[in-house]
Amino acid sequence: MADQQEVSAWRPRVPGVVEVFHAHFTEYAYPMHVHDAWTLLIVDDGAVRYDLDRHEHGTPLDTVSLLPPHVAHNGSPATPGGFRKRVVYLDSSRLGEDLIGAAVDTPDLRDPLLRRRVGRLHSALARPGDELEAESRLTLVGERLRDHLRRRTDVPPHRPDPVLARRLRELLDARIVDGVRLEEAARLLGAHPAHLVRAFSGAYGIAPHQYLMSRRVGRARRLLLEGRAPGEVAAVTGFFDQAHLTRHFKKQVGVTPGRYRLSAR
């Protein structure tokens, strides 16, 4: 089989994310190299064999691999058909350098919940306009990674915080069109981003990014019923573009904005 290489890379507008990298390699092998960022890696097909700190490791499908910055590693296919991987490179604002030693000792984490969360993070990172969702998902991923690296087995249960949840809802209501970054909301409300997400979800049964999108869709519905075009509606209700509006509108309403507009009487 001839060597096949498919790659895509981008830098989303999400604080702490240096780069997103998706690749499919059949024969290519990485030489020893280092990164100045954390490498958060999942493999969707095949497997990767790599050396880190002179120890060999592997990446079966249910594994999340976290390779620390400044530590040399390589990588090569461990299965005949090569591998397909998704990587997020994170800076030290998401994971501190004090965790490098623990990551060297245990770079491969067997955690199905973490694996699902990283997959959903990638889905959000691939959609322009869904940065609040991506930031929220990344916050929970980072929290779980830190728990693993610090060997925390006594994670305290979540405690309701209805006052904080209400304050975040009021902030989202005031920023329906402009939106708000999770880091900014945490700073304005004086709370840790992960606690903010959990408090809101626990109080209202919906994540902050879902709440914001539902409010935007509600405004869009009213404007569409007035006869305004979907492209114009997307621009004035906070969506990235018409495709972004269509994706969320159809998810919540069941039809596209265009069909909804035509149904008006």
Residues 6+ apart with CB under 8 A from 43: 59, 60, 61, 63, 65, 83, 84, 85
When the pLDDT of each residue in the chain is averaged and rounded to a whole number, the result is 92
* Encoded amino acid at 192, one letter: H
- CA dist 55 and 1 (Å) reads 29
The pLDDT tens digits for 143-166 are 999 999 998 645 556 678 999 999
> How much of the chain exceeds pLDDT 90, in percent?
84
Work out whether the CA dihedral 188, 192, 196, 202 comes out positive or negative.
Answer: negative
Confidence of residue 123 (pLDDT cuts 50, 70, 90): very high
DSSP 3-state of 28: coil
Q: Please give the C-alpha separations between residue 2 and each of 25, 28, 62, 74, in angstroms, as whole numbers.
A: 11, 10, 28, 21
- CA dist 187 and 104 (Å) reads 32
Q: Indicate whether 199 pLDDT > 50.
A: yes
* Encoded amino acid at 89, one letter: Y
138 within 8 A of 130, measured Cβ to Cβ: no
- CA dist 177 and 57 (Å) reads 46
Q: Indicate whether 54 pLDDT > 80.
A: no
pLDDT of residue 153: 44
- CA dist 233 and 253 (Å) reads 15
- CA dist 98 and 160 (Å) reads 30
pLDDT of residue 265: 63
Mean local confidence (pLDDT), 71-91: 93
The pLDDT tens digits for 234-253 are 999 999 999 999 999 999 99
Tell me the H-state helices in 25-111.
Answer: 100-105
Neighbours of 238 (CB within 10 A): 20
pLDDT of residue 156: 59
Q: Which two tokens stand for residue 229?
A: 């075009």
- CA dist 207 and 171 (Å) reads 14
DSSP 3-state of 238: coil
Confidence of residue 263 (pLDDT cuts 50, 70, 90): confident
Work out whether the CA dihedral 149, 150, 154, 159 comes out positive or negative.
Answer: negative
Least confident of 28-37, 132-141, 166-175, 225-234: 28-37
Burial-class residue 22 by CB neighbours within 10 Å (0-12, 13-18, 19+).
Answer: middle
Polymer length in residues for the chain: 265
223 within 8 A of 112, measured Cβ to Cβ: no
Q: Indicate whether 191 pLDDT > 50.
A: yes
Least confident of 26-40, 111-125, 154-168, 192-206: 154-168
